[in-house]
Copies of this chain bind each other. A is one copy, B any other.
């Protein structure tokens, strides 16, 4: 049903990071912890997260800057951690729009409560990001994210099932990158792969049947042996001419 929320912690103090991670894991969250902005970017590329817990003081790019960047990109909920109470005023003054704030040292239960509140507020699952434009296109194909429909270069509707659309959306969000089966499963279902699991393979096969000119020689979805799959087309935001 509602899958377990996936939370990304950006915190350079290893002790706090492990403490919090463990506590939250014990409370039914999936946790990934990273130590700085660069690692955060990588993590965001690889997986889908429901909420970010962000330390203000970080080596390299600091939390404020990261927060602003995240905000300009999307609407993922953010909880900020600060070392000093006085900082909160400064943060608020800067209006960088975190969803909540917490002063260190904090009780993990407090963080837990805030996370739950923010997640509940955010409402449902962060839907397959129906961003600004709901239509994207690639190699003549058009994909309408809002109504989850696909049209081939001839403008005909190609009916996809829900899981197929989810997978295609995951590919479209990360084109021209090798994605492991594990990543794809995380992106589409927010869960890890069981050993011997082949469901992504099957789904790719079904997508190919419906989309590839010749499924034996795929042009859109490439197989990367012992690596995963890669979506090769370039994504355009403005919808291609259907004619």
Contacts and interface: CB of A to CB of B under 8 A. Distances in A.
Given A92-B116, A92-B117, A117-B100, A124 B163 contact: no
Nearest to A107: B85
A178 to B, nearest CB: 4
Nearest to A223: B162
Given A174-B124, A178-B124, A147 B2 contact: no
A99 B117 contact: yes
A2 B109 CA distance: 36
A11 B204 CA distance: 44
A163 B225 contact: yes
B113 A89 contact: yes
A147 to B, nearest CB: 5
Interface residues of A, number: 51
A227 B109 CA distance: 28
A101 B113 contact: yes
A103 B2 CA distance: 29
A222 B75 CA distance: 22
A146 B224 contact: no
B224 A162 contact: yes
A153 interface: no
A222 B116 CA distance: 26
Interface in A157-203: 162-163, 174, 176-180, 182-183
15 contacts: A1-B227, A92-B116, A95-B120, A100-B117, A101-B113, A123-B183, A124-B174, A124-B180, A125-B177, A127-B176, A127-B177, A130-B176, A146-B234, A147-B222, A148-B222
Q: Which 3 A-B pairs have the closest CB atoms?
A: A124-B177, A125-B178, A146-B232
Given A1-B180, A1-B226, A126-B177, 14 more contacts: A2-B180, A2-B182, A2-B227, A75-B125, A92-B113, A99-B121, A123-B179, A124-B183, A127-B178, A130-B176, A130-B232, A146-B232, A162-B223, A162-B225
